[in-house]
Structure 1
Amino acid sequence: MKLVVQVKLLPTPEQVSALESTLRACNTAASEVARVARNRGVYRNYDLRKYVYQNIKDNHRLGAQAAQHVIKKVCDSYKALKANIRAGNLGRPGSKRRRRAETDPISFRWEAAQPYDARMLSWQRNARTVSIWTVAGRLKGVAYAGSPDGLKAVAELPVGESDLVHRDGMWFLHTTVEAAEPELVDPKGFLGIDMGIANIAYDSDGDRYAGTTLNSYRRRQLRLRQRLQRKDTNSARRLLARRRRKEARHAANVNHCIAKTIVTKAERTGRGIAVEDLTGIRERVRLRKPQRVTLSSWSFHQLGEFLTYKARRAGVPLVEVDPRYTSQTCHRCGHRDKRNRVDQETFNCRSCGVVAHADHNAALNIASRGVEAGAQSTARTRPDLAASEGGDLQTRPFTGG
């Protein structure tokens, strides 16, 4: 399985100047390629190369590999843009924002990430330095640092393509490494995970991962952003960008901690993990404006991705289940009634009278559906084991969001 490791470069002032010139040249060339692609209506890598390859090499002092990566970066950007247009993420057909996205060429900021392959970047693991291509020539002996796990991964695992990233005055390499994927265990049941806003996650064992602190933090950040937006000065816009990144890092850290705790529990108890398939929930759910803000800032997709890759690394099966009516159905008798959900926290079955926390009841239903989904997957992939207990469960990646 592929993992992305972040290492921090520690360049000298002369090396910083060369790296900055390289990013500026690559992204200026990328903006030029994007204009040609839009004007000619050519978005395939091989076809676009005929029009721009030699020009950007000569005019922007790019090497052959760098020029190839610039063209590929532009093609990938247009591919992502088309996917966002199809998904409706850039407004309705005919809206100003969508028309602009469909007609204007993509432009690249000077500090946008630039891909590097093995021909442009080499690692001296013992010395903890890299040799990296720049427009000013090859930089050798650029020191790097990172977390113990990241440094160990770069030192011991096969290294693939890297992205050179400039952020907040610092330089990073986001490097892909190839890690061995353990075999999935035969689960003894499933740990159901109900994702929500008041509680970021609630598992079928009754453990709650509260979102109160995170939601309070986000409300405070929203008030601060509104104050800065009203000022509308250059310094206010810079502070807005810093606050946005700070909030994103905080939410990612919370999601990492929650995902690690859930996967560790499932691994320790020999169970798989069952989560809801929340694909398109923002489009399906109609809420009032204050609630829409909360839903839009809910990073359930990130939590799902963290759960997926951490589960894969631990060999824990993860399945997605249908989320419909999990909060209205009694986990004990199976009776479904929207009146069973008394309020945000309380579930009271109208049939058997069971009283439970609403999110805990939903998590128990998700765990039951996880067992069914696991059995169906085993029957499809291993017919010889369909009638026996256990079997190898085939999981698919989290797609919510």
Structure 2
Amino acid sequence: MKLVVQVKLLPSPEQAAALAATLPLCNAAANEVSAIAFKQGVFARQKLQKLVYAELKARGLSAQPALHVIRKVADAYTTLHAQIDAGLLGDEHSPRRRKTESKPITFRADGAQPFDDRCLSWQMDARTISIWTASGRVQGLAFTGEPGQVKFLAAHRKGESDLVHRDGMWFLIATCEVEEAPQFEPADWIGVDRGIVNLATTSDGDNHQGKGLARYRRRQARLRAELQAKKAAGSRSAARRLARRSAREARHAANENHKISKSIVADAQRTGRGIALEELSGIRDRVRLRRHQRATLSTWPFQQLGEFIQYKALRAGVPFVEVDPAYTSQRCPVPWCGHTMRANRPDRDTFCCRRCGLAGPADVIAATNIRRRACVAWAFVSMPVPNPETKGKGDATPARRPAATGSATRRERPSPKPGRPRPRS
């Protein structure tokens, strides 16, 4: 499993000047390579290298930085073509796709640049690095970070590191390889329902939200609206403050999501249970919201919370699945009932089954339904399958399906409305 660790660089004025000249040089070279690739229709890394490698060397790039520039351009086009093939930019006649395909990919002058161990070396004991720059090799460039991060970096760093310039500061984002802990067989599951008012509610009834966070989000929305109005009036200082406030909100949201995911994973590991979430990809395209609800839905990274829970679960060896979210808040969790109806949820916070009378908090009911679907999904992905080598030989020893940690869904249909005959199976 790959994780990243960010450390802050502490360059001297001379070192900072050398770093400041490096990113524009590399990204200008990447723009030239991108224009050549687009004009000649050559996007494969090896073919592109034959076309532009000599020109990049003539611009003053060393061998490895030149190869990284070519690789960055090739990877960018690979990602773009994958998005087009997946239909993420619309069909072939959509304006967005035509606009994207009509021009080459461009890179910002201060865009991040990758480095490998040939042009970047770490001295962990001295807390310094040696890095290639446009002005030559820079030695003894100090870096700092939290003690736990530096220790983790020293133990697991492997692969490339990205040089990033953000808010006048320099950072290195290093890739680390961590082995996943072996998964245990879950005794049960913890269903987690993510929402707008309650960020995460578990099937145990734990509610991870708090009134303080709701007040914080309302205050930030009010301040953001004031700054946006000043920005529209032409205030450049308002634009700068808006950018700083946006970054502060993102850090706050990530911190809260880390705390919530850590608590849920620790509870699952302690009790020997797995974790189940709803599969919510593309939810903004599937739901229709009122105007005042759109900002609320878009100001919290629910997908980030799910990613944090997933990678922390993998590190701890906790089984993780994603299930179909259909009707989880409208379906009665009682096994012999299972009545599904929109009227079962008269308001946002309340669930009351119209058939059996079960009542409770709507988010807890949804988390309970997620837990039940996880039991079915895990039974399916971990069920034994026949071994083709012993088929027909009377061998009862089956091959076992690998335990999956990705999406495992099972769609449940709503039960017929009361008063109508049930269809015969």
TM-score, structure 2 normalization: 0.86
**How far apart, CA to CA, are the structure 2 residues paired with 1:265 and 1:385?**
35
The residue identity in structure 2 corresponding to 1:394 is A
Match of 2:343 in 1: 339
> For residue 52 of structure 2, what is the amino acid of its counterpart?
V
| Counterpart for residue 81 of structure 2 | 82
Could you tell me which runs of 5 or more consecutive residues in structure 1 were left unpaired when the two chains were aligned. Answer: none
Quick check: 1:216 aligned with 2:218?
A: yes
Q: 1:95 to 1:228 in 2, by over 3 A?
A: farther
Q: What's the offset of the Cα at 1:95?
A: 5.2
**Alignment partner of 1:142 is 2:144:** no
The equivalent residue for 1:375 is 379
In structure 2, the CA distance between the partners of 1:94 and 1:290, relative to structure 1 (3 Å rule), is: farther
Q: Structure 1, residues 114-133: CA drift from partner, whole Å, max 9, x if none?
A: 00111111111111111111
Using the alignment, how far apart are the partners of 1:124 and 1:113 within structure 2?
Answer: 22
| Secondary structure at 2:356 match in 1 | coil
Distance of 2:91 and 2:224 partners within structure 1: 26
State the one-letter code of the partner of 1:10: L
Counterpart pick for 1:291 among 290, 293, 303: 293
Aligned mates of 2:105, 2:241 — CA distance in 1: 25
Per-residue CA deviation, residues 335-358 of structure 1 (Å, 9 max, x unaligned), is 111110111110000111111111
* Post-superposition CA distance 1:273-299 (Å, at most 9, x none): 000111221221122333233333341
Structure 2 distance, partners of 1:220, 1:261, is 30
Computing the radius of gyration from Cα coordinates, the structure with the larger value is 2
Aligned partner of residue 100 in structure 1, secondary structure: helix
Question: 1:346, 1:356 within 8 Å by CA — same for their partners in 2?
Answer: yes
Q: Is the 8 A contact 2:194 2:201 kept in 1?
A: yes
Pick closer, same or farther for the CA change 1:132–1:233 going to 2, 3 Å: same
Matched, 1:395 2:405: yes
Question: Given the superposition, is the C-alpha separation of residues 350 and 183 from structure 1 closer, same or farther in structure 2, using an over 3 Å criterion?
Answer: same
Task: Say which SS state the counterpart of residue 6 (structure 1) adopts.
Answer: strand
Q: Please state how far the C-alpha of 1:382 moved relative to its aligned partner.
A: 9.6
Cα distance, 1:72–1:157 mapped onto 2, change above 3 Å: same
Residue 21 of structure 1 corresponds to which residue in structure 2? 21
- Tell me by how many angstroms 1:221 deviates: 4.9
Aligned residue in 1 for 2:128:
129
Q: 1:382 to 1:16 in 2, by over 3 A?
A: farther
* TM-score with structure 1 setting the length: 0.91
Structure-2 separation of matches of 1:327 and 1:155: 46
**Are 2:68 and 1:64 aligned?**
no
RMSD: 2.6
Equivalent pairs, count: 396
The equivalences for 1:84-103 within 5 A come to 84-86=83-85, 90=89, 94=93, 96-103=95-102
Distance 1:234 1:54, change over 3 A: farther
Pair 14,131 (structure 1): closer, same or farther in 2 beyond 3 Å: same
SS at match of 1:199: coil
Q: State which drifts further: 40-49 or 335-344.
A: 40-49
Match of 2:305 among 303, 306, 317: 303
The one-letter amino acid of 1:226's match is Q
Q: How do residues 341-356 of structure 1 correspond to structure 2 at under 5 angstroms?
A: 341-356=345-360
In structure 2, C-alpha distance between the alignment counterparts of 1:394 and 1:159, rounded to whole Å: 26
Q: CA deviation at 1:91?
A: 6.3
Cα deviation, residue 170, structure 1: 1.0
Superposition pairs for residues 166-177 of structure 1, below 5 Å? 166-177=165-176
Identical columns (%): 52
- 1:304–1:398 Cα contact (<8 Å) kept: no
Unaligned runs of 5+ residues in structure 2 are: 388-395, 410-425
Does structure 2 conserve the Cα–Cα contact (< 8 Å) formed by 1:379 and 1:386? no
Are 1:116 and 2:126 matched, yes or no?
A: no
Return closer, same or farther for 1:321/1:398 CA change in 2, 3 Å cut-off: closer
Which whole-Å CA distance do the structure 1 matches of 2:384 and 2:65 have between them? 45
For 2:188 and 2:386, locate their aligned partners in 1 and report how far apart those are by CA, in whole Å: 18
Equivalent residues of 2:130, 2:141 under 8 A apart: yes
Farther-moved stretch of structure 1 (312-321 vs 276-285) = 276-285
Give the Cα separation in 1 of the matches to 2:34 and 2:106.
Answer: 7
Q: Which moved more, 1:21-30 or 1:279-288?
A: 279-288
* 1:54-98 Cα shifts (integer Å, max 9, x gaps): 112212x11111011111111222233334445565567655544
Distance, in Å, in 2 between the alignment partners of 1:202 and 1:393 is: 26
The Cα of 1:213 is off from its aligned counterpart by 4.1
CA contact (8 A) 1:221 1:243 kept: no
Tell me, in whole angstroms, the C-alpha distance in 1 between the residues paired with 2:299 and 2:80. Answer: 22
Name the counterpart of 2:48. 48
Structure 1: how far apart are the matches of 2:251 and 2:271?
Answer: 30
The equivalences for 1:240-319 within 5 A come to 240-319=242-321
Q: Which is further off, 61-70 or 247-256?
A: 247-256
Q: Separation in 1 of the partners of 2:277 and 2:37?
A: 41
CA contact (8 A) 2:382 2:402 kept: yes
State the distance in 1 between where 2:323 and 2:31 align. Answer: 43
Residues 236 and 214 of structure 1: is their aligned pair in 2 closer, same or farther, counting only changes over 3 Å?
Answer: closer
Q: 1:232 to 1:105 in 2, by over 3 A?
A: farther
For residues 358-400 of structure 1, the C-alpha deviation after alignment (integer angstroms, 9 at most, x for no partner) is: 1100000001111111111111579889999xx984312799x
The reply on whether 1:161 has 2:160 as its aligned counterpart is yes
SS at match of 2:338: coil
User: Does the 8 Å CA contact 1:113/1:165 hold for their aligned counterparts?
Assistant: yes
Residue 328 of structure 1, CA deviation: 0.6
Determine the structure 2 residue equivalent to 1:5: 5
Q: Distance in 2 between matches of 1:364 and 1:21?
A: 56
